[in-house]
Amino acid sequence: MSALLSIPTIKNQTVFNIDRWEEIGRDPLVRNWPGKVETDRYGNPIMMCYAEFSHGGKQADVVGLLHKHAPAGKITVECPISTSEGIKVADVAWMSKKRLVQVGGRVALKGAPEICVEVISPGNKRGEIEEKRSLYFEAGAKEVWVCDRRGRLSFFLKDAPEKAAASLLCPKVPRSVSVD
């Protein structure tokens, strides 16, 4: 009998991710963690520092912009998304009702919403945000927005290698959120 666990294949990575996410969510130590939790592709929890006050404010500002400029759909914060590298949690997300039917899940989404937003925190590393952007696109996102520490928004489109001048799904969204 082998002491090693079987490694999930890409085919069942989503099922594995969601089952593991549900299991982790029942752990009182993880549930009471004051920061954000994600997983790697093997289901190991990745515990991150709590966010600072301005992080939540920028999330709220992005939600306000989506309410004002996005088509009808669902807006959420702290959105757990199954990716090929485990569960990643977008700071803010928007999806159409049709996409929600396609990717909705018990405790995490089976794929990415059309728009995933990352708000930069002091602990974020450039490579981390670029990796999440790639994973969100691979999981079906059409756009990834990045809000920097000054509140400036950068827009990335699925099939464009460089930063875009604006969002295609929400073309009237300004390039920055309100800064207090």
Q: What is the pLDDT of residues 2-35, one digit of tens each?
A: 556 666 555 699 999 999 999 999 999 888 888 8
Residues 61 and 40 in one domain: no
Are residues 56 and 73 in contact, defined by beta-carbon separation less than 8 angstroms? no
- The secondary structure of the chain in percent helix, strand, coil, rounded to multiples of 5, reads 30, 25, 45
Distance CA 72, CA 169 (A): 11
What proportion of the chain, given as a percentage, has pLDDT over 90?
Answer: 78
73 plus 113 within the same structural domain: yes
Share of the chain above pLDDT 70, in %: 93
Q: Do residues 83 and 140 share a domain? A: yes
| pLDDT greater than 50 at residue 1 | no
Whole-angstrom Cα distance, residue 153 to residue 146? Answer: 6
Q: Are 66 and 43 in contact (CB under 8 A)?
A: no
Phi, psi of 63 (to 5 degrees): -60, -45
Do 35 and 76 fall within a single domain? no
Q: What is the mean pLDDT of the chain?
A: 91
Residue 150 in any domain: the answer is yes
Q: How far is CA 173 from CA 18, 73, 178, in A?
A: 32, 16, 12
The pTM score is 0.91
- For residues 56 and 35, state if they share a domain: no
Q: Which domain holds residue 132?
A: 52-157
* Same domain, yes or no: 19 and 59: no
Tell me, yes or no, whether 3 lies in a domain: no
Asked whether residue 68 is assigned to any structural domain, the reply reads yes
* Same-domain status, 71 and 144: yes
* pLDDT of amino acid 129: 94
Shared domain for 83 and 147, answered yes or no, is yes
pLDDT in tens, 72-111: 999 999 999 999 999 999 999 999 999 999 999 889 999 9
Determine, yes or no, domain membership for 178.
Answer: no
* Residue 105 sits in the same domain as residue 64: yes
Same domain, 40 and 85: no
> Looking at the 3D structure of the chain, how many domains does it have?
2
